[in-house]
Structure formats: C-alpha cells, structure tokens
Structure 1
Amino acid sequence: MVSMKKIISLALLLLLVGAGLLVVPHLTAARPAQTATTTAKRPSKKPTVPKLTRNDLQHSKALTYSSIIYFAVKHSKLQRWQEVSDFKLGWQVEIYPRNGQTKYLVWPDQHIQDSAKNLAPNWFRFKDSQHVLYDSMIVHSFRKDQTKTASLTEIVKQINTDHAAAKVRAMPQRLSVVTHK
C-alpha cells in the first residue's frame, strides 16, 4: 500500500504544477511586452532635408533658378508656365543680358535643341535683389503678356510650406544654363 506521506507529496506536487500552469502564462505574457518596449527598434525616419533659406539661394544660382521655376509651375497661376512642369525632363535657362536688364528664358527639357524652340518661352527677370517678375506670353493673341511678381522670401516660404525643399534641391541636376553675351 502507498504510504500517506507519498500521497501528500504527490498531492503537493500536483498542486504546485497546477498553480504553475496558471501563473506561468501570465508571467510570459507580461514579459515580452516589457522586453519589446525596451529592445524594440524605433521606426527609422526619413533623412531630414533642411528647409530652404534665402542664404541657400545667395550661394547657388542654379538653386535660385530652380526655386523660381518651382514657384512659377506650382503657384503662379500663369497657364503657360505649365509647359515647363515636367520635373523629369528638366529645364534649360537661357540668360540674355540687354541694356542692364537680364532676361531668363525658361525652356522645357534641359537638353532642348534650338530647332525645338519655336514659340517664345516663359521668362523671368529680377526687378531688384528681392523680387522676381514672371512673364508669360498669351499664345495666338495680341493681348498683353500675363505677369506676376513674387519676392524671393515668398518663394522660399512657399517651398518650405509645400515641404518641397528636397524636390527643389534636386532640380539643379536637371537644369542647364546657357549664358549669352
């Protein structure tokens, strides 16, 4: 016959195993959550591109032209500026200094050939060191050209509001500049 001591030991052992089966799931469920918060990797952030500044424009003519073109395409409401809205093709800017006044003609496609330059392009000029005058000829009309004036500060502010600094900083790679004398 089985002794009473063995029965009590067996009962205690079963009681401990039963209690362990009840407690262990609670302990293991709590533990991964704790380790997950301490060892989980934070989601990687996109590299932050610094906001565009007027100082950036003063140090790079190509970035200045890119900012001016971006603003014209996205915010000028001058219809013909949409002709240069293909950011993949890029742009060609032709600089024509005349009598102390410089015009910047803007053509679609950084590799445009003279044979493709059939219609007068959009253009801009600097009214002073702070303001840009945009011009857009109305095709097949004898009406006055459409114009818009914007300050460089307004242009930079709008680019930053659009969160487009990275896009504008990439534009000079697809911009060619031709200077005429």
Structure 2
Amino acid sequence: MKKFLLWGSGVVLLTICLIGGWSFRTKTTTSQPTAAKVQTHHKKKTTKPLTLTELKRHDTLAYSSIIYYAIKYGKIQRWQELSDFSLGWQVESYSSKSKYLVWPDQNIKDEAKQLAPNWFKLQGSTVTYHSFVVLSFQDDMTAKVSLTTIINRINREHAEAKVRQMPTRLTVIRHH
C-alpha cells in the first residue's frame, strides 16, 4: 500500500508539474504585450544637411546661410541689426555679382535706406563680411569665412531647417 501511495503521489506531483508548466508557458506566450512593448516611437524630424553644391545652385539659400552665420556666429556686432527674422531681409546685388548689400526688412523702401548697410562679398567659396563703423572715420570692419565653414557650423548646430525657411522672407533686387 505504501508503494501505491508513493507511486500515486509521484504521478499526481508529475501531473501537477506538467499542467503547471504547460499553463505557465501558455500564459507567457499568449499574454498581451506590456506597455513597454506597445510604446510608439515618434520619428525624429530630420532635415537634410546643407551642402556646398546646393548653395551654389540656389542663390537665396546661399544668401540665407551667409546672413544666418553673420547674425548667429559672426564677430561683427553691427550684423545684429539684421536679427529680426520676422521682418526678413532685402539683398541688393550689383552687376559685379560679387558685392551684396543686406538690409533689414524684406520690404524696406529706398527712403528708409539712410545708413550704409552691412554687406558681403562672395568670391568663389570665400565670404567677406563688411560693416560700416557708425560715427567713425575708420575703414569698414571685415571678417572672412569660407562657405564650407558656414555650412559645417549650421549643420553642426542643427540650424539647417531654420536656414531653409529664410528664403521666404528674403527679397533679392538685382541692379545691372
């Protein structure tokens, strides 16, 4: 009788383990996903980096990059006069196509252009920033930088989206 009880309790124990194991495996494989698994991943909105080729193809994007760099990273204080992004900018180019006057406000009228503007010269891939020194008899303040440096800084600071929006507030007037 002891053998029967021992054998019977072994079978019962084995049955419980099998049923318990089967039940545990079923629960883990058919259970609902946890909140951690269901989290939605929002795609990070990325903007295509600026390139030298792109700036050479699109004048307004090049002017925007040059202006943005002068306002945000330039060393010439007077370029800060152009920092109101809501007003935009007016760029005047002359037949030489290398000198560009930059005025604050894309809709500025001739009668408002009393003070000498900031301007830049573009020769190849080199930008030379100029600024008239107010109430001084000194030469213009100048700073040189390459377009590659401008592009790299804008891309590194993740400002390419801001620069790509600037041409909508940029008016270009070409004089021949």
TM-score if structure 1 supplies the norm length? 0.77
Residue 149, structure 1, aligned to residue 144, structure 2: yes
Tell me the CA shift for residue 108 of structure 1. Answer: 0.2
Within the candidate set 156, 160, 164, 1:165 is matched to: 160
Quote the Cα distance in structure 1 between the aligned partners of 2:111 and 2:167: 24
Tell me the CA shift for residue 74 of structure 1. Answer: 1.0
Segments of 4+ in structure 1 off by > 6 A? none
Quote the Cα distance in structure 2 between the aligned partners of 1:101 and 1:35: 63
Residue 124, structure 1, aligned to residue 123, structure 2: no
Deviations 1:28-85 (A, max 9, x none): xxx66x432333322x134211111111101200000000000111111101100111
SS of 1:76's partner is coil
- 1:41-60 matches, within 5 Å, as 41-42=40-41, 44-60=42-58
Residue 114, structure 1, aligned to residue 113, structure 2: no
SS of 1:177's partner is strand
The one-letter amino acid of 1:35's match is T
Gaps of 5+ in 1: 1-26
TM-score if structure 2 supplies the norm length? 0.79
Tell me the CA shift for residue 101 of structure 1. Answer: 6.2
The one-letter amino acid of 1:38's match is K
- 1:24-39 matches, within 5 Å, as 34-39=33-38
Quote the Cα distance in structure 2 between the aligned partners of 1:117 and 1:144: 20
SS of 1:47's partner is coil
Gaps of 5+ in 2: 1-26
SS of 2:86's partner is coil
Tell me the CA shift for residue 177 of structure 1. Answer: 0.1
Within the candidate set 65, 68, 74, 1:67 is matched to: 65
Show the counterpart of 2:11: none
**Is the alpha carbon distance of 1:111 and 1:78 closer, same or farther for their aligned partners in structure 2, counting shifts above 3 Å?**
same
The CA RMSD over aligned residues, in Å, is 1.8
Show the counterpart of 1:16: none
SS of 2:115's partner is coil
Between the two proteins, the alignment pairs up a number of residues equal to 148
